[in-house]
Amino acid sequence: MNQIQTNKPKKLMSQRVIPAGILTIFLVVLCVIVRYSFYWSLPLYNSNITLFWAIRVIAILLVTVLAFWLFYELNNSYLSHKIFATIQSFFSLGLLFVGLPFFAQVITNTDTELKNSVFTYLIWSDWQSHLLLFVLVVIYFIFRTLIVKDIAIKELLIKTLSYFLSLLFLDIFLKVFLYLNTIESGIEFIVWFILIATFYDMGGFFGGWLFGGKVFAKKMAPIISPKKTWEGALVGYISSLIISFIFIYSYYAAAKSYQISSDIGSLINNLGTNGAAIIAFLTIAPILALVGDLYFSLIKRQLGVKDFSNILKGHGGLLDRVDSVSFVFFGWSLFALIL
């Protein structure tokens, strides 16, 4: 018995904490590389254009690999066919590149600051991307009918709808990530979103582990995610708020030294429309992380899979790790209408 109790913390560290930390570091490093290409290296455009485009190509390739990884895990889970999933994933990459305004103003951006709102590039002017999204859903419908014989129409329609929503969330998540890398304080927003989701997940896990069932007898979502507890959700929410304030005002202190006035702390302190929107988002963002977690848990239950893949020990696939943060990015794209 003592041996089991001794091994439990070690197993917790090796299967939960360490993989979560490694993934967080990976995402932060990726953010720095992409940020350098899309913003910090912009002066190179006039001094060394060859080096500028070499760095941009490397960044785009990294994002493409990340996107393909996410799309493949999603498509393979929905199709249960590696060849069709691979084909569909290559087609899905087009979501990042076929939208002409987004491609011209974000992917190949050479300006120090984009002037229009995020929605100009993600929603209102990106009809080519939305057309491709519709085509991808049709292709999924066709592939699914070829793979599964005598499939029930109702089940097929429900899965097709959930596939459309899942692909849309990932598409917007990746585009918001790229867009934020083109604006002055974009890296702060990106790291903030990652911290919100990461600390909600870790706080929720430890809160559920330590306090689960001690205050609320009923589980939060017993059908969708039986292990989720209200206590864990509350600890996760508080953890996200605490890390948000620590990060925002630590960045604010550093930003003053570099005369940056568009950081999150400055927006909050101004108490204008932008500040109110930031505060509202700050209070809602941890809930968005929870909703994202529950949504993809529902999808996995619908598809009959435990994880989207097993590439990350104790955590499943990459999509299992970005499920919550993708909803934070998606939610921010809606709040960006106000800013």
The domain of 306 spans 185-338
pLDDT at 121: 61
Residue 78 C-alpha from the chain's centroid: 19
> Block means of pLDDT (10 residues each) for the chain, length 339 residues?
52 63 74 89 90 93 94 95 95 92 83 60 76 96 88 90 96 92 88 92 86 77 83 93 94 83 83 80 94 93 87 74 92 79
- What's the pLDDT score for residue 1? 47
pLDDT for 274:
75
* Burial of 184 from C-beta contacts in 10 A (0-12 / 13-18 / 19+): middle
Q: Render 130-160 in DSSP notation, one character per residue.
A: HHHHHHHHHHHHHHHHHHSTT--HHHHHHHH
From CA 96, how far away is CA 177, in angstroms rounded?
11
| Domain assignment of residue 159, yes or no | no
CA atoms of 327 and 332, how far apart (whole Å): 8
Helices (H), the chain: 2-12, 18-35, 44-47, 49-79, 82-92, 100-102, 118-119, 127-147, 153-180, 186-211, 230-257, 264-270, 273-303, 318-335
Residues 177, 326: Cα–Cα separation, whole Å: 10
Kindly report the length of the chain: 339
Domains in the chain: how many in total?
A: 1
| Locus of tokens 């009923």 | 218
Does 72 fall in a domain? Answer: no
3-state secondary structure of 315: coil
Q: Let me know if residue 124 belongs to a domain.
A: no
CA–CA gap between residue 316 and residue 300 (Å, rounded): 12
- Predicted pLDDT of residue 136: 97
At residue 116, the pLDDT reads 54
pTM: 0.88
Give 312's strand partners: 316
**If 0-12 CB within 10 Å is exposed, 13-18 middle and 19+ buried, where does residue 253 land?**
exposed
Contacts 24+ apart (CB under 8 A), 77-82: 77/299, 77/300, 77/303, 77/305, 77/308, 78/140, 78/144, 78/159, 78/163, 78/166, 78/303, 79/140, 79/143, 79/144, 79/147, 80/147, 81/143, 81/147
Question: Is residue 259 assigned to a domain?
Answer: yes
- Three-state secondary structure string covering 202-258: HHHHHHHHHHCCCCCCCCCECCCECCCCHHHHHHHHHHHHHHHHHHHHHHHHHHHHC
Separation between Cα atoms, residue 79 and residue 141, nearest integer Å: 10
pLDDT of residue 2: 47
- Determine the Cα–Cα distance for residues 101 and 121; give it in Å rounded to an integer: 6
Closest listed residue to residue 186, CA positions, set 112, 238, 294, 131: 112
Asked if residue 17 belongs to a domain, the reply is no
Helices 318-335 and 273-303 sit at what angle, rounded to 10 degrees?
A: 150
Give me the residues paired with residue 221 across strands: 225
Would residue 87 count as lying in a domain? no
In a domain, 219, yes or no: yes
What gap in Å lies between CA 208 and CA 214, rounded to an integer? 9
Q: Is 13 domain-assigned?
A: no
Contacts of 321 (CB under 8 A, 6+ apart): 20, 23, 312, 315
